[in-house]
Amino acid sequence: MTDSDTVSINTPAERLAALRAAMREHAIDAWWLPSSDPHNSEYLPEHWEGRAWLSGFDGSVGILTITQDAAGLWADSRYWVQAETQLEGSGIELMKLKQGQAKAPIEWLAAQLSDGATLGFNAQVVSLANARQMEESLAPKGIKLRGDLDLLDVIWPDRPSLPQAPVYAHPEKYVDGTRAERLANLRKAMTDHGADWHLLSTLDDIAWLTQLRGADVDFNPVFLAHLLIGASEATLFIAPGKLDETLTRDLVQDGIEIADYADWQERLGALPENSRVLLDAAKITLGTRQALPESAALVEAYQPSTLAKGCKSAKDLEHVRQTMEEDGAALCEFFSEFEGALASGETPTELDVDKRLTAKRKARDGFVCLSFSTIAAFNENGALPHYHATQEAHSVIQGDGLLLIDSGGQYLGGTTDITRVIPIGEPSSAQREDFTLVLKGTIGLSRAHFPEGIPAPQLDAIARAPLWTAGRDYGHGTGHGVGYFLNVHEGPQVIAYSASAAPHTAMREGMITSIEPGVYRPGQWGVRIENLAANRQAPESEFGDFLRFETLTLCPIDTRCIERDLLDQSEIDWLNAYHAEVRERLAPKLSGAALDWLEERTKAI
C-alpha cells in the first residue's frame, strides 16, 4: 500500500496531500498540472479535469504547480475572485497571472526547485511547445523533466472514464463541399510543406475535416479522435462503437480508414523510416511527439486545417445568418417574458435567467445545445467576466442595477455567442456612462475597415480607444474566432493586444470573430456588449484589398442604459441602422408580446 492509499481524499487539501505522497514515492520534486487533454482542448471531458478535481477551482483555464512545500494556481484576471473563493482552505495559493506573463508558472518553479530536481507531468496532456518552454527555462539548473507518469491515476480512485457518445454526420444541407475535397486541400498544404504525413489531434479540426459531429465535450459538438493523414491514405483513431456501419462505410469510401483510439501512438511508432511529419507544436502533445520514430523529420508549421476551418464559405455564412435570426428571436421572446415577470413583481434569480433563456432556444429550429454555460450576472457578479451562478451561490434580481447576460447556442447552421446588459430598476449615471463607453468601443470596431491580412491583434486598440480616453480598460481580449457548429472559441484569429501578431493571426475573408469590449468594477457592476461579426470584402482601393465587418448577431442593445450625450451622430446613426435591421429580420419570426418588445427596444434614438 502506498502513502496515497492511506489517506482520505475528499477535499482539495487531502487530494494535495495524496499527490505529494505519490510524488515522494516516485522521486518527483514538483508536479505540473495544466487544463488540457491529449487534444490540447479548452473544454475538457471529465476524465481530464484533474486540475479542477484536485484544486477545487473549476474555471476553464488555469495551471496548477505543486512542490512538497508550496502549491500555486495560476489564473488570469477573469478568474481571480472565483479562484480566491474556491481555493480557500486548500493549501493552494492563487497566483495572479497578468497579460504577457505566460512563462510565470515555469519561472516560479525554477525559483522553487533546487539544482538537479525532477519536474513531473503527464506528457500526454502537455503540448510540445509548452514542454520545450519548460526545458529551456529549467535546463540552466539541471532540472530534469519526467513525463511518463499520470499521478492522477494513482490518487483519483473514481476517475471518470472516457466519454462514449455516438458520432453523427453534420447534415448535408449545412455542409459546403465534401470530405474528399477537404482532404485534398490539406494534402496540397502538406505537399507545399514537403511533408509525407500530418498529425492532427485537435477535435474541432477533425470534426470539420470529416464533416462529423459528436457530444464528448460539454457545449462543443466534437468527439475524441486523432487523425493521421498521408499522401494517399488517412486513418481516424476513434473508440470502437462510436461510429455506426453507415458512417464507417462512408468514411472508408472517402479514403479514411478506422482504427482504435487506443492505437494512436503505436501507429505513429510504425511510420516509415525518415518520414517527414507535419505538425503544429502548440497543438500536438509531447507524448505524441515521443511516439514518432527517432528518424522522423519534423516539419513544423501552423496547422493548415485551422485556417481553412476559420474561413467560412458563402454558403456557411448564409446558414449562420439564418441561425442568428433563430437565436435572435429566442432572445426577444426571453427578454419580453423576463421583463414582463419583473414588471409583475416577480423576483427571479440568476439561475432563472439560464433556465428561461435555454427553454426559448430549445424551441428554435436547428438548436442542438448551448455553446457554453450561460453567464447571468447581476450587479457585483457582473464584474466577474466568467461568473457562473450555482445553487449554492447566486443573486436574486431586484432593486436597481445592471444584469449582464452572456449566452450562446449550438445550431446545425452555426454557433452563437452574445452578451447583452439590461437595466434593473433605474441605472445610475455612472453605470450609464460605463455602458455607453463600452458601446462606443463596440461600434468603433464594428464599423472599421482594415487591410486584408492584417494581424488580428492590431485591431484591438480600435475597441479600447473610447475606454482608454476615459481612463478605463478591461483585462480580457476584445475578440475570439467562432466556429461553424463547432467550438465557440477557435483560431487562428484573436483580437487582443497581448497576443502575438504572428502571420497565422491574419484576418481573412469569411472569418467570424466576436467583438466584446467591457468595463468591470469589482464589487459593483460589469458591462460587456458582444456581437459576432464576419470578415467581408470592403470596396476596392488602389492601396490594396480591404475587409470590413458584417455584424451577424441580431438582438437589440438596450438604449435605456445609454448616456446619449456621449455618442456622436455617426454612432447614433450606426445604432439606429443596426436596430432597423434587427427589427426587419426578426419581426417575421415573432408575435404578440415578443413582437411588441422588439418594436419598443429598436426605436430610433
CATH number at residue 325: 3.90.230.10
Residue ending a domain, choose from 303, 332, 365 = 303
For residue 545, the number of C-alpha atoms closer than 13 Å in the C-beta half-sphere is 9
Using DSSP, state whether 514 is helix, strand or coil: strand
pLDDT tens figures, 42-73: 899 999 999 999 999 988 889 999 999 999 99
Mean pLDDT of 217-241: 97
Domain extent at residue 264: 168-303
Same domain for 424 and 348? yes
Same domain for 108 and 49? yes
Same domain for 120 and 186? no
Same domain for 113 and 214? no
Residue 491 parent element (H or E): strand 490-495
Mean pLDDT of 199-218: 97
Average pLDDT, the chain: 95
Model pLDDT, residue 2: 42
Mean pLDDT of 314-323: 98
Same domain for 183 and 95? no
Model pLDDT, residue 5: 46
- Grid-cell match 483555464, residue found: 61
Same domain for 395 and 290? no
For residue 50, the number of C-alpha atoms closer than 13 Å in the C-beta half-sphere is 25
Model pLDDT, residue 8: 62
- Beta strand 276-279 pairing with 197-200: parallel
Q: Is the separation of the CB atoms in 26 and 151 below 8 Å?
A: yes
| CATH number of 235's domain | 3.40.350.10
Same domain for 597 and 472? yes
Quick one: which of 32, 491, 53, 45 has its CA closest to 261?
45
Residue ending a domain, choose from 271, 303, 335 = 303
Same domain for 113 and 200? no
Backbone angles phi, psi at 340, to 5 degrees: -65, -40
pLDDT score of 241 more than 70: yes
Quick one: which of 29, 103, 37, 107 has its CA closest to 66?
29
Q: Is the separation of the CB atoms in 320 and 512 below 8 Å?
A: yes
Q: What angle do CA 526, 487, 363 make, to 5 degrees?
A: 80
Residue 161 maps to a domain: no
pLDDT tens figures, 342-400: 999 999 999 999 999 999 999 999 999 999 999 999 999 999 988 888 898 899 999 99
Q: Is the separation of the CB atoms in 512 and 534 below 8 Å?
A: yes
Q: Is the separation of the CB atoms in 216 and 238 below 8 Å?
A: no
Quick one: which of 460, 435, 446, 471 has its CA closest to 566?
435
CA 569 to chain centre: 35
Using DSSP, state whether 403 is helix, strand or coil: strand
- Which pTM was predicted? 0.94
**pLDDT more than 90, % of the chain:** 91
Same domain for 379 and 250? no
Same domain for 349 and 463? yes
CA 545 to chain centre: 30
Residue ending a domain, choose from 303, 328, 349 = 303
Number of domains in the chain: 3
Same domain for 147 and 184? no
Model pLDDT, residue 103: 86
**pLDDT more than 70, % of the chain:** 99
Instruction: Band the pLDDT of 1: cuts 50, 70, 90.
Output: very low
pLDDT score of 161 more than 70: yes
pLDDT tens figures, 430-474: 999 999 999 999 999 999 999 999 999 999 999 999 999 999 999
User: Quick one: CA dihedral 10, 16, 17, 21, positive or negative?
Assistant: positive
Model pLDDT, residue 3: 43
Using DSSP, state whether 515 is helix, strand or coil: strand
pLDDT score of 272 more than 90: yes
Residue 160 maps to a domain: no
Residue 162 maps to a domain: no
pLDDT tens figures, 109-158: 999 999 999 999 999 999 999 999 999 999 999 999 999 999 999 999 99
